[in-house]
A and B are shown apart, each in its own frame.
Chain A
Amino acid sequence: MTRDILQEKILTILVQDFEFQQPGLDDNLRDVHGFDSIDAIELLGKIEIMLGCSLTREEKEKAMEIRTINDILDYLEKIQQGRVR
């Protein structure tokens, strides 16, 4: 998936499932939207469905450092690249 498609899907998830209002790509997820580690773990489950593959423990632990939507997109692109190799 291209970054644009990933962005569209992630924004849809964040708005529909996490009650985000007008999310900005560089918003601090915790400070602006109250997105905490529990949300992050729930989001990982949705990402696994979206990508159609399971994430490794290492990949999940890396996701805990995510701070913005752009970080999520970078994270997803890296995972996709890793899977292609």
Chain B
Amino acid sequence: MQSAIVNRALDVAVTLICWLYFTLGFLVFFSPRYLAAALFSSQPELAFQRLNRSFYRGFFALLRTIAPRQQWVVDERIKTLHSAVIVCNHLSYLDPLLLIALLDRSKTVVKPIFFSVPIFGWLIRTSGYFPATATGKFAGLMLTQMESMESYLAAGGNLFIFPEGTRGRDGRIGTLNQGALKIARHCGAPVHVLCLRNTDRLFIPGVFFFSTRTPNCISVRQVDHFLPGELQGRLSDLSTRIRQALESCLSETSPQEGDHNRELPSIMPSETKR
């Protein structure tokens, strides 16, 4: 009973520290840099993407420190991805933050409602993120982003998309939207398929506080990829291949279900523990 209370208190503390980072940390350490980038950078979109990465790298460094029971296994190849469309399964609100932290330059699709949020809306708009709809007031933004996508990708940028559109709640892969494949095909970019595991055990959907006291291994790894030439086939066939790769990854024994330390190194030779 007492241990449950202590665990709860520690989860609350971790969550509050993270919120402090998102509010005060942003205000003190990052808002001046964003402002300077907006005013003086010749490429504000690129500058904002790099600042976003820096901000979320700081967040995950903090989280790793204050939540030591969470292990992070990241496929090193992900950090070197450039000029690619990246598709990934979606488990938790942590997922986009993790991908922004890992990828050198990235933009993504965001729920339209976020574009109306003060400061945050300006930040994601300047970062080149685009809404999940092209109707009404978002038509111009979508057109602008799509017209520049080919040159953005060619210049080394990444676009990551969660093709399920929303977080999965039952451990299965939902219906896959084919938009990412269409963009990759249109722009002649490769597609990399990433598999995320267990972020939903740290930040459980529908729960406000982090769940840090249960040992957990969060992993992200590349499970498939398509060269541009492979994207000329039927989209439904490509989607099926992505689904199979993700389902195969998710069906593997979770590290914490077995001997934690023994299973971690076997996930992938090129992975490192962070």
Contacts and interface: CB of A to CB of B under 8 A. Distances in A.
Q: Specify whether A and B are partners.
A: yes
Contacts of A61: 139-140, 143
A64 B179 CA distance: 15
B234 A38 contact: no
Interface string B173-188: 0000111001100100
Interface string A52-82: 0000010011001100000000000000000
B139 A38 contact: no
Contacts of B135: 37, 64-65
Interface in A5-47: 19, 34, 36-42
Contact of B134 (A19, A42, A64): A64
Interface residues of B, number: 18
Contacts, number: 41
B53 to A, nearest CB: 25
Contact of A38 (B140, B183, B236): B183
Contacts of A57: 140, 143
A38 B179 contact: yes
A41 B143 contact: yes
B235 interface: yes
Contacts of B140: 57, 61
Interface string B157-177: 000000000000000000001
A37 B134 contact: yes
Given A19-B234, A19-B235, A64-B135, A42 B143 contact: no
A37 B178 CA distance: 11
Contacts of A36: 177-179, 182
Given A36-B179, A40-B134, A41-B143, 9 more contacts: A19-B235, A19-B236, A34-B178, A36-B182, A38-B183, A41-B134, A42-B182, A57-B140, A64-B142
